[in-house]
Chains A and B, each alone.
Chain A
Amino acid sequence: MKSRLSLFVLCAGLLTIGLPVIALATDAPPAAPAKSESKKNITIVVLTAKPEAIHAAALQALAAIGCEVKKDAPLSIEGKRSNKIGLAVGSGGEKLFVEIKNLADGKAEVTVTTKKTMVGIVGQKLWNEEVAAQISNAVK
């Protein structure tokens, strides 16, 4: 009986970290950043700043939310928040993508995308708006 109970508890734990939602999330980066601003996990801003300045600000913004940079190129950055086990849902595991597109007149388009991953999805959050706001404030 006890072992059945412990099995139930463990299964419930695994459920909270998101194993049943494998179909809803993949670890693959987005093929192309969507232009639709209606998507909650994507924030697009146009800034009057050099791509280098935006890149530097993006690195700091990602660090400020606990993102570890996995890929770093002049016009794109990929980061991931580390997974943490918790009492119920834990946290972390989100992937953040920052894409910088150079526009005319000294402007640049910045696309920040949050991608939730399957492990710990229940405790994950969309960080794109916060990161985009920090980048915007830093390059003002």
Chain B
Amino acid sequence: MRSSKLIAGTLLVLSLGLTGCISSVQPTAFPVGDKHLAAKPSGTPIQLFKDAKPTRPFDVVAKLNVHIEKTFFIPSAFDEALPKLEELARQQGADALVDIVEKKSRLNETFIYNVTATAVAFSDAR
């Protein structure tokens, strides 16, 4: 009886160790151009332009991507990805995010959420 529990426990640990967690969040930034702006302090507001472009002149500084996957049929949404996008934008010295594109898909029990955005810096602010 005791050995069965030991085997069961070992198998459980083994399966968990082999398969990892139930979710993954992967934020990635791809800098554009040769100019690298200084990162902005944490908490600096980042403007969002979901359906329109900024009226102020701007330069593209990076392409951003946040990829979220969750198993157990758990969905993800933009609100979850937004802090990661903003963090990436600050790291790239950006002021705003434009061209925000969301993609949702499903693979068996895994819900996949991917959002891309273009990080821009206002050229009249520098």
The verdict on A85 contacting B16 (CB below 8 Å), with A7-B7, A64-B116 known, is yes
Contact B24 A92, beta carbon cutoff 8 Å: yes
Whether B91 sits at the interface, judged by CB under 8 Å, is no
Whether B28 sits at the interface, judged by CB under 8 Å, is yes
In whole angstroms, what is the CA distance A11 to B23 when docked? Answer: 23
Chain A contacts of B28 at CB under 8 A?
Answer: 63
Whether B108 sits at the interface, judged by CB under 8 Å, is yes
Size of A's binding interface in residues, CB under 8 A: 32
Chain A contacts of B69 at CB under 8 A?
Answer: 66, 84, 91-92
Chain A contacts of B107 at CB under 8 A?
Answer: 91, 123, 125
Contact A14 B11, beta carbon cutoff 8 Å: yes
B26 CB to closest chain A CB (Å) equals 6
Contact A11 B11, beta carbon cutoff 8 Å: yes
Which of A59, A82, A88 is the one whose CB lies under 8 Å from B24? A82
Contact A83 B30, beta carbon cutoff 8 Å: no
In whole angstroms, what is the CA distance A135 to B4 when docked? Answer: 51
Contact A123 B15, beta carbon cutoff 8 Å: no
Write the chain A residue with the least CB distance to B65. Answer: A63
Whether A103 sits at the interface, judged by CB under 8 Å, is no
Contact B24 A84, beta carbon cutoff 8 Å: yes
Whether A4 sits at the interface, judged by CB under 8 Å, is yes
Chain B contacts of A68 at CB under 8 A?
Answer: 26
A139 CB to closest chain B CB (Å) equals 14
Whether A3 sits at the interface, judged by CB under 8 Å, is yes
A123 CB to closest chain B CB (Å) equals 5
The verdict on A85 contacting B109 (CB below 8 Å), with A10-B8, A10-B12, A68-B26 known, is no
Chain A interfacial positions (CB closer than 8 Å to B): 3-4, 6-7, 10-11, 13-14, 17, 56, 59-60, 63-66, 68, 82-92, 119-120, 123, 125
13 further A-B contacts with Cβ under 8 Å, apart from A10-B12, A66-B69, A84-B21, are A3-B8, A11-B11, A17-B15, A17-B18, A59-B30, A64-B114, A83-B19, A86-B72, A87-B109, A89-B109, A90-B110, A91-B69, A123-B109
| 26 contacts across the A-B interface (CB closer than 8 A) | A3-B1, A3-B8, A14-B15, A17-B19, A63-B26, A63-B28, A63-B67, A82-B24, A83-B18, A84-B22, A84-B70, A85-B15, A85-B20, A85-B71, A86-B108, A89-B108, A89-B109, A90-B110, A91-B71, A91-B108, A91-B110, A92-B20, A92-B24, A92-B69, A92-B110, A123-B110
